[in-house]
Structure formats: structure tokens, C-alpha cells
Chain A
């Protein structure tokens, strides 16, 4: 639909930064001077400056969810701060339509001496929720945070988890058109994170556009449809979440491989850990016909073909497969527990692991593979390899769901009986 309104337009935006503090302050003073006389600050790099963000363009419509990934210093957070209007671009133009809600810092404005309840009002005001709205929302916010019994206690006595809960609960009750989230969900306990993710997808379903910045790739896969991969301030790749994340992981893998190769060359062969001695090169997910796939159905067999490369003979490597969501491990296949292992592996090859009749409900999952050494002392192959896949509903599950007349709850389907 061409008439659909863009909530956010980022057009060729660039931003420069300076590494040296003294110079940075001096440039700041210069920028102040040009700002006050109404001149545009120069778009050339001054000594010791670099482009933190360079020529970045993208647009968001309603119900778009965009993830931004990349290594530290790639410019992700700078991009978010530019969009939220905290700092000005040096080049380009950013246009926002609608209410912007930014989850960059949780619990902004909290004062440790004041009670949780008082701080809710302060945080709400900072986030742009009026007193009237806050009065209406206060009970909802306290319930969401699940810390009602502590709400009239000074927040300095809160645990860090409670602090995060309170902060997120306020922020979750914003009703923005554009929602910016920066890594904040990586804190807090699992159950609460689950709740936070649910709240985000609710916002997104109701038409908000979401930008999510995270190092947690499975979480990005869960939340975002499109992903931008940033590198040295530029967009390295833009596209579907799965494609970009796979490309990014492959790239990371290459980088790690190079380092490991270099390390392996350096290290003597007496090294007694598996680190540097072997790595998992690739994991294929196969269906019953041994064709590659990333989509399974509840009750299917999950077939993983784990390709490895051993730089020297490895006696009795124990492969371990963990399947789960970003938040928890659900299924485990462990050679150490099953007390089997190849006698020795060397060079390139593969190991098959077939998990029978996986009882997972439709969702996104990922499989995590690593290798332990022969003895009880755990020696892990670095890095563990991860592969995402999707479980879709088939007949069995939809029957169950139809019976329940509900979206599937939980991870595993179960037939329940109620008595009273």
C-alpha cells in the first residue's frame, strides 16, 4: 500500500564522534559557536574524528519491527539516540510521526530515598505520562511489576531485579507509535522477561513500530521481522531477520575461526582442552526425508547434522544438543548422559542427532550444540554453535488448540482434565 504513512524516515543520516576528550570538548565549543550564529556545523571530519554513523537510511511503517544488530561500537546506540532526538545528526534527516517511546534507560529519574510508588509517578512524568494518566494506571503498573508488597518502601532497599521490574512496568504502560528498545530486556528474571516480550508484541500488533537493539540474537529473531546489521557505522546488510542474522552469525563465525586458527598455530599440541582443537563448522536441520529445513511440526523428529572439523585427533568427544527459547533450555540430548561417544574423530566429518517426536508448540526455537571432553572435567569447544528453527502447527496441535479455543499457552502441548 503506497499510501501507508511512514512513522519513521531516516534519510542518509551521518554522525561523527571524537575519541579524544580534550579535543571533543573543544569541538563541542566550536559546534556551540556555529549553532549560535545559525551556521551548519562542518560536515568534514576534523582531526581525530570518525563517523560513528554513516549514511544510514531506512523507514518504518505501522506494525514494522526492526532489529539492529552489530558488534560493539558499530553505531547501534548512536542511531537510537539520533532517532530519539537526544543528539543531532551531522548529515541527513530524520522524520518522526507520532508519539515516541524510548526504552533506553529503565527507571529514569528514580530517587533512591523515595518509595516505589512515588518513583512510579516521577518516572511516568519523565516518560511523558501525565499525572492524570498515571493515577489511572498506577494499580495496573504495580500489578504488572508484581512487587505490590514493597511498593511503599524506599527503592534503595530494592534488589536490582525489583528495580528493573518497576522501571519496565512504567515504561510498558506507555502507548507510543514508535517504540525504541535498547538492550534493557536482557536484565531481569526469565518470567518477567517473557512478560516484557509479550507486552512488546502486543504494542506491535496494535500498530506501533518497534526498533529493537540487542546482542541477544534469538530475542531479535523472536521480536523482529526485519534486521539491519551495522558495521563501523554503516549498514552492512538489511533484510529479513533470519537471513541477516544468519549472515551475521556466519561472519562472526569466520572471524572466530580466523582467531582460532591463529591461536591453534600458536599453541602447542600439549594443550589439554578441546578449545582450539576442534570446532563445529555447521549444523544442518533435516526433515524425515533428510532434506534441509528450518520448519518443523509438533511431534516431528528433529534431525541435526553436526559438521565438525578437528585439527588433531580428539578421543571420545561428547556432543551435547540443547533446544530451547532464548529464555530457557527445554530439550537436551547429551552423549555424556547416554554414555556413548565416537572413539576418536579427526579432520572433517559429521555427527547426527535425532530427537524423536519433539513435543514443542509452534514458536521460534534454537538448537545449541557444544562438545565436552572425555573426562568429567568439562572442556567446552568454543564457540558453541547455534541454529534457529521454527515449529509450526500441524493437525495434532491445532486440534488441541481448537479444543482449548485459545492460543497455545506454554511450550509443550498437554491434554488436560479438570475435576471439581
Chain B
């Protein structure tokens, strides 16, 4: 053996596969997780660019379609509200901006919660054939969610200008709340991914539940103060984050900073747990989902 080869051998990275759960050596696992996350960035970016450019290359109006959904649903609620069919009470900011922002934020959350399961299903064939950092699939899903949201922000800016809202310093803090809202969706989505990949029942229940959850969250109406509706803001984790994002951007104030911080911290903890579960689950899912 030449010296060169000997040196080559010394620095060889070593991987071991055993039947033991990764939880048996938590420190090594955590270190590996963040290493993989770092290594996954480039692939995640590539996959996101792939999916986004493939989507728009086969479309005539491309990005314009992204505006269609939120504009229609916002128009619908504005119409219902104007006709007094839907009575949401007084909002601090013009209702069109309120409802447009609300539905955009809800859209971000619901896209995020669906993203991990959709991404794993769509990429099952390469996941089951090639080993690469598994985080790449999730990171790329996050990038796509952010891209979609970013496009829609353009309409929001237009609404801001039309309705003459003032830009306050608080708007600089709202991206943090928006990010938290997305991470909450991703965390919950990751949490249900393992069982959701095995059993299709999960996505069926989820889509039904999301319809209900939408109305239990102050998206198209302001936070209610009267019992029992006020429970929504305390027992529904999405409320404080969604409301914080909207209030920070439109009014520059935060109603209940403490609650927001608690929910944010909890989100990050759940995200870490969900990430660990995702990693532990993937080999089992691949084994069961591909022959």
C-alpha cells in the first residue's frame, strides 16, 4: 500500500448500520442530524429549483396563477361580509386587507402542514433507491412553500398601497412570526408523516380537519373576546402566531407577546422532536413502501 493510500484510509468517514434505534446514542445522532442538514442545503436548493421551474415551464401564465386562489377566496369573504351574510364584527384595519392577509397566512400554514407528507410521497422512488441526506426533501419542501408565499406577498403589498396602510417598524418583526407559523406547520406535518405514509387514512382525516381548523382560527374574523369563542385564541396554537404575524405587519403591535413566545418555543421543541422521528422512521417507511 502506498503512503497516499494509507492517508486516504485514515481519513475515511465511517458509517455503521445496526438494528438499534438511533435513540441509543442521542449525541451522535444529533450531531449527525445537523451535519446532514448542512450537507442537504445544496441538494434541497436543486430539488426546489427543479420543481418550481418544471411547474412554471409548462404553464402559459405561470406565476399569475399563484394570485388566483388567494384573490378569489378574499373576494368571496369580502363579498359575504359586505352583504352582511357573514358578520365578523369590526376589524382594526380595512377588512379586505385583513381577510387577504389572513387567508394568505392560513394558506402558508396549511401548505406547510401538508408539505412533508407530500414531499416524501413524491420522492419515495429516489428515497428508496439512493442514499442522500433525508433532510434535503424537507428543506426543499420548505423552500417551495416560502417561494409560493413570497409570490403572493406581491398582491398583499398592492392591497397595502390601495388601502393606504402605514408601514410601521413592527413590520420588520413580522417575518419572524411568519417563519414561526410556517415552522409550526412543518413540525406538525413531520409529526404525522411516519404514520401518514403507511396509512392513507391520515391524509383523509387531515384534509377534513384542516377545513374545520380554518374556521376555528381567527383568519377571516378578529380574535373573539367572549366565552366560549375566546378559547380559540388560547387553545388553538395557530391563533397567537397567525394573529401576531398579521398585527405586527399591519398595526406594528403585538397583543400578547408572552403567549406568542411560549408558542414559538414550543414549536421549536416540537420541530426538533418531529425531525428526530422523521429520521428514525424513514428506513422503516422505505422498507414497507417499496418492494
Contacts and interface: CB of A to CB of B under 8 A. Distances in A.
Q: Do A and B bind each other?
A: yes
B17 A88 contact: yes
B33 interface: no
Contacts of B129: 86, 102, 104-105, 108
Q: Is the interface of B mostly helix, strand, loop or mixed?
A: helix
B283 A87 contact: yes
A7 B5 CA distance: 12
Interface footprint category on B: 35 or more
A88 B50 CA distance: 30
Nearest to A29: B198
B130 A97 contact: no
Interface string A62-77: 1000000000000000
Given A82-B17, A126-B132, A109 B50 contact: yes
A188 interface: no
A125 B13 CA distance: 19
A96 B131 contact: no
A118 to B, nearest CB: 7
B24 A38 contact: yes
A98 to B, nearest CB: 4
Interface residues of A, number: 60
Interface stretch (A127-135, A270-278, A371-379): A127-135
Contacts of A105: 125-126, 129-130
B126 A109 contact: yes
Contacts of B53: 114, 118
A25 B198 contact: yes
A41 B16 contact: no
B14 interface: yes
A93 interface: yes
Contacts of B131: 84-86, 100, 102
Nearest to A91: B19
B211 to A, nearest CB: 26
A102 B132 CA distance: 11
Contact of B19 (A40, A104, A125, A128): A40
Contacts of A40: 19-21
A297 B208 CA distance: 75
A122 B50 contact: yes
B128 interface: yes
Given A35-B284, A36-B280, 20 more contacts: A5-B9, A25-B288, A28-B287, A28-B288, A35-B21, A35-B280, A38-B24, A39-B21, A87-B283, A88-B18, A93-B18, A94-B17, A95-B15, A98-B12, A99-B13, A111-B54, A113-B54, A113-B57, A114-B50, A114-B54
14 contacts: A24-B288, A25-B199, A32-B195, A35-B284, A36-B23, A40-B21, A62-B9, A86-B130, A96-B15, A109-B126, A113-B58, A114-B50, A118-B50, A126-B132
Closest 5 CB pairs of A and B: A38-B23, A28-B288, A105-B129, A125-B46, A97-B12
